[in-house]
Homo-oligomer: A and B are copies of this chain.
Amino acid sequence: VITPLEWINGKLRFLDQTRLPLEEFYCETDEVDVIVDAIKRLAIRGAPLIGIAAAYGVASLRTNVNDAIYIRKHLMDVIKLLESTRPTAVNLFWALQRQSSVLIQWKTNSIADLQKQLLAEAKSIHQEDVEMCEHISSLGAELLPFSCNVLTHCNTGRLATGGRGTALGIITKAWELGRIKHVYIGETRPLLQGARLTAWEIKKWNIPATLITDNTAAYLIQKGKIDVVIVGADRIAMNGDVANKIGTYNLAVLAAHHKIPFYVAAPVSTIDFQVQTGSDITVEERNGREVTEVFGLKIAPEGMGVYSPAFDITPNKYISAIITNLGVLHSPFNDSLQNLRSRGESAH
Contacts and interface: CB of A to CB of B under 8 A. Distances in A.
Interface in A64-95: none
Nearest to A212: B307
A217 interface: yes
A288 B210 CA distance: 10
Interface in A202-227: 203, 208-220, 222
B254 A216 contact: no
A184 to B, nearest CB: 8
Interface residues of A, number: 56
A213 B301 contact: no
Contacts of A300: 21, 187, 192, 195-196, 199-200, 211
Given A219-B309, A292-B195, A213 B297 contact: no
Contacts of A188: 215
Contacts of A189: 187, 189, 213-215
Chain A interface, >50% SS class: mixed
Interface stretch (A122-130, A232-240, A244-252, A339-347): A244-252
B249 A219 contact: yes
A111 to B, nearest CB: 45
Contacts of A208: 305
Given A189-B215, A214-B214, A219-B246, 12 more contacts: A184-B307, A187-B291, A188-B215, A189-B213, A190-B213, A192-B300, A203-B301, A211-B288, A217-B250, A219-B312, A256-B257, A295-B297
4 shortest A-B CB distances, which residue pairs? Answer: A215-B247, A218-B250, A189-B213, A219-B312
Interface of A: 21-22, 184, 186-190, 192, 195-196, 199-200, 203, 208-220, 222, 246-247, 249-250, 253-254, 256-257, 288, 291-292, 294-295, 297-309, 312-313
